[in-house]
Structure 1
Amino acid sequence: MAKVTLHMVSSLDGFIAKKDEDVSWMHSKDTYREGKTLSEDDIEQFLKSVDCYVMGSKTYEHALKLGWPYGEKPVFVVTNRPLKTEKASISFYSGGLETLIKEELDSKFQNIWMVGGSKLAKSFLKEDLIDEIVITFIPVVLGDGLLFFDFINMEKELHLRDVTAFNDGMVELTYEIKK
């Protein structure tokens, strides 16, 4: 069975973007001497461990504007809108999320990363399709914007599995979802 990880980058006050969808604040200029320094090899090893990505259409469009960071890894874009791509690694999907994970991806991939946005993240959580949540906090308070979790109307018990502080002041928390 595949493991599905929900990954999100957030401000300390829980926003994933400003109201105008700006994410330029996601690069920290802080320094924390005791934090981990990521090498190019660390990043390469991590990227090799991810088998495929799942995202919503707005995240897809935003990633295209910023410069596609997913290389040639398979990417499944959940959308009801007609979108186009020239990349062979991108597939568009408009069915049920459980069908996507259990029937389409589970048998083909071991490590699936769901990378945005907040509506899709809530749907994955509500349908109990997430095994773990990895959230990276940027050392900034935005005060307003698009919330990571807003009014999810459910309770999920989590187990803290790992904490990593980075030398740029970012902190990554990894939670297992108790089932």
Structure 2
Amino acid sequence: MRKLTYGMNVSLDGYIAAPGDDLGWSIPGDELFQYWSDRVGETELALYGRKVWEGMSSHWPTADQQPGATPAHIAYAQRWRAMPKVVFSSTLTAVDWNARLVATDAVTEIARIKGEEGGPIDIVGATLAATAMRAGLIDEYVLVTHPVLVGGGTPFFTALDSWVELSLVETRAFPDGVMLTRYETVRPTTA
């Protein structure tokens, strides 16, 4: 079974975007940007919700061709284009950039994808991740916590019907007080 990871930049009070979808507080420094780029390079498949897809696909397909593009941004753009992607949306009619569109039940499709042979999968976007989280499909959580309180916005976690036990598997400090914590979901053992 493939491993499904949900990872995002998050404020100390638990949001991935401040009110008005403001992401200005989460602009990564060079070391953190390289971490995210390496993650894209290691990910075999990314699952996107519509909102994040629209943001990413409006920038990264041509980011390496923009004046002043740094070597790190060029590498990220190339990795992003090469990585297969699945976009979940009931409103979009088409996607491009090495992506396919799924308009049916996300839980069923994510479970099917997880059951296939293959490498790691990342889920990107709070709404899609919330659906997978409630269905118990997420195997790993990566929180890159920035030392800022934004007071509201889009939360990283959703409300759950029951507890999910996690095991801390990695911590890493980045410059400017940013801290990565990575947790694996503890699955009940079967006899």
> Aligned residues: percent identity?
27
Structure 2 residue 141 is the aligned partner of structure 1 residue 133: yes
Q: Which has the higher helix share?
A: 2
Structure 1 unaligned residues grouped into runs of 5+: 30-36
CA contact (8 A) 1:28 1:169 kept: no
Segment of structure 1 superposing worse, 16-25 or 66-75: 66-75
Distance in 2 (alpha carbons) for counterparts of 1:51 and 1:134: 17
- Counterpart among 106, 118, 124 of residue 109 in structure 1: 118
Q: Secondary structure at the match of 1:48?
A: helix
TM-aligned CA deviation for residue 16 of structure 1: 1.0
Question: What is the match of residue 33 of structure 1?
Answer: none
Q: CA RMSD in A?
A: 2.3
Query: RCO higher in 1 or 2 (8 Å CA, sep ≥ 6)?
Result: 1
Q: How does 1:151-166 map to 2 (within 5 A)?
A: 151-166=159-174
TM-aligned CA deviation for residue 8 of structure 1: 1.8
Q: Secondary structure at the match of 2:131?
A: helix
Question: What is the match of residue 85 of structure 1?
Answer: 95
Q: TM-score, normalised by structure 1?
A: 0.82
What amino acid does structure 1 have at the position aligned with 2:95?
T
Q: Secondary structure at the match of 2:20?
A: coil
1:166–1:129 distance in 2 versus 1, CA, 3 Å: same
Q: Secondary structure at the match of 2:19?
A: coil
| Number of residue pairs aligned between Structure 1 and Structure 2 | 169
1:66–1:16 distance in 2 versus 1, CA, 3 Å: farther
